[in-house]
Amino acid sequence: MPNQDWLPAAVRAKAGERKLKPGETLFRQGDRPMSFFEITSGRVRLSRVDRSGREVVLYIAGAGETIAEASLFSTVYHCDAIASAAATVRAYPKAALLAAFDKDRKAAQAFSATLARQVMNLRTRIEQRNIRSARDRVRHYLSVNAGGDGRSVTLTGTLKDLAADLGLTHEALYRTLAALVRSGEIKKGRGTITLLRGRKV
């Protein structure tokens, strides 16, 4: 789990860990934010309850992700956070963080930079979802995430995870990859996919 490297050491030192049972609440809409969180394992969903009492899921965060960044600048949380599965989270105290940003503008900049990069990544993921064809979606993913050599993509998680990222069922992804392998467009290795040649346009 890559720790939040942009966090000032002083803040990291003050972090507390908390374990959540499935269904347990981390915070509720309207609560006063005391910390923001990094999820070290499990799953936490952010949701709101609509007028008719139904829960509307805003986001499901997994291990390695941070949530409630926005609440650093707000006096209340704008949604609930509930563990979807057993989870452990690291809580970084809001006060310490804001103080660090005040003192050390490098730290504040690092935070902004992280957010800005995240915005770009998310935008790209949305753009990806605008591609209807599974095949082209996978192609787009591979092109965008090709490493330095522009040819190979290292898979972080399982193919099932990737499928979820791409908004495909895992079956659809397997089939699409298989087709691309058959057509000689890619090669699959252990945790790696290599682009062989683009098809003629």
Partner DNA sequence: CGAGTGATTGACTTAGATCAATGACCGTGG
Partner DNA sequence: CCACGGTCATTGATCTAAGTCAATCACTCG
Note the residues at the interface with a second copy (CB under 8 A): 48, 50-54, 56-60, 69-70, 72-74, 101-102, 105, 108-109, 111-113, 115-120, 122-127, 129-130, 140, 143-144, 146, 149-151, 164, 167, 195, 197-198, 201
Residue 45 · residue 131 · CB < 8 Å? no
Give the separation between CA 22 and CA 143, rounded to whole angstroms: 37
Closest CA to 152 of 196, 182, 199, 183: 196
156 binds DNA (CB under 7 A): no
Residue of 158, 183, 184, 197 that binds DNA (CB under 7 A):
158
Q: Rounded to the nearest whole angstrom, what is the least distance from the CB of residue 35 to a second copy in the complex? A: 14
Q: Rounded to the nearest whole angstrom, what is the least distance from the CB of residue 54 to a second copy in the complex? A: 6
Residue 145 · residue 124 · CB < 8 Å? no
For residues 3 and 133, which CB has a smaller minimum distance to DNA in the complex?
133
Closest CA to 75 of 39, 30, 116, 122: 30
Q: In terms of C-beta density within 10 A (0-12 exposed, 13-18 middle, 19 or more buried), how is residue 132 classed?
A: exposed
Q: Residue 97 touches which of DNA, a second copy, none (CB < 5 to 8 A by kind)?
A: none
What residue type is 60 in one-letter code? Answer: I
Residue of 6, 41, 85, 174 that binds DNA (CB under 7 A):
174
Residues found near DNA in the complex (CB under 7 A)? 132-135, 137, 158-160, 167-172, 174-178, 188
